[in-house]
Amino acid sequence: MKHVRAAPFLFLVVGLAATARADKTPACIRSWGETVATGFGYNHVVVIDNTCDKAATCTVSTDVAPDPIQASAPAKQRTELVTFRGSPTRVFKPKVECRLE
């Protein structure tokens, strides 16, 4: 029986690709989406929590509002951006990429 040794290389390539994507935003910046119910639908809010010692500039978009928004994330502060008002759906996926200034 022969053993195939290509699998470790595949894991290495996949691991490097995931690391390259993750390096765009520093580890001290976290982001997530929140939904706020209103009388006319749902507001989609993207939260950026910057615990870094430096301010950051972020590009924010979602699957519902794909046009990118530029946002400033001051050092040691939380920033909230409304990306869509009155959405008929409460589910959305935010995409946030930040770089330190």
Does some domain include residue 34?
A: yes
Q: What is the pLDDT along the chain (101 residues), one digit of tens a residue?
A: 444 444 444 333 333 333 344 458 999 999 999 999 999 999 999 999 999 999 999 999 999 999 999 999 999 999 999 999 999 999 999 999 999 99
In a domain, 63, yes or no: yes
What is the pTM for the complete model shown?
Answer: 0.76
- The identity of residue 42, as a single letter, is Y
On whether residue 9 sits in a domain, the answer given is no
Does 35 reside within a domain?
yes
CATH value at residue 75: 2.60.40
Amino acid 23: pLDDT: 53
Instruction: Tell me, yes or no, whether 11 lies in a domain.
Output: no
CB 57 within 8 A of CB 98: yes
Write out the residue range of the structural domain in which residue 34 sits. 26-100
Count of the separate structural domains present in the chain: 1
| Nearest by Cα to 97 from 45, 18, 31 | 31
